[in-house]
Amino acid sequence: MSDMISINRSTSEGIDFDMNIAKFTDRQKEALRHLDSGKVKFLLYGGALGGGKSYLLRWYGIRRLMVLNRIWGLTHVAGMLACENYPSSEDRQLQKIIYEFPPWLGKYYDKHKAYGRCFLLKERWGGSALCFRNLDDPSKYASSEWVFILVDELTKNQ
């Protein structure tokens, strides 16, 4: 059984994260089942405009950070959610998390002193960060350490 299974059913308060918080669609839940299986190293999730691809990435990033805390006790780690440039990140991710992510979960920072542009989970969820980066020059991330890397619109990045 994968470590993801434990949290996707409920938070410590007994709330079903996938259904009641992230509100994943059936297709997104299918992608999560593949990721949760432990058999998938890379997952390509595509589809038509409005299919929830960017939504899945930001919510999966938060979900994964919570799992790393709950199952493995990891705190204050960083996951990357990357787009080809910052305008795309603003359009697809940043302007949406301000309205989608509830305040009890954490806080968005445009310039956090340690993580830069990120959503920082509250301490009770591990205090980890979902960091937003651009891939205009991927070499600038050489030797950077991330617990995971998610790429929005992979086909727009070399």
Token pair of 143, please? 């030797």
Q: What is the torsion angle, in degrees rounded to the nearest 10, for the CA atoms of residue 75, residue 111, residue 157 and residue 127?
A: 10
The pLDDT tens digits along the chain (158 residues) read 344 434 444 455 567 889 989 999 998 999 999 988 889 888 877 766 666 888 999 999 999 999 999 999 999 999 999 988 888 888 788 899 989 999 999 999 999 999 999 999 999 999 999 999 988 888 888 889 999 999 887 655 66
Q: Tell me if the pTM is above 0.75.
A: yes
Going by their DSSP bridges, the two strands 78-83 and 149-151 should be labelled as: parallel
Q: Across 15-138, where does the E strand assignment appear?
A: 78-83, 106-112, 116-121, 129-134
80: three-class secondary structure by DSSP: strand
Question: CB–CB of 34/43 below 8 Å?
Answer: yes
CA distances from 56 to 47, 62, 94, 151 (A): 12, 10, 14, 11
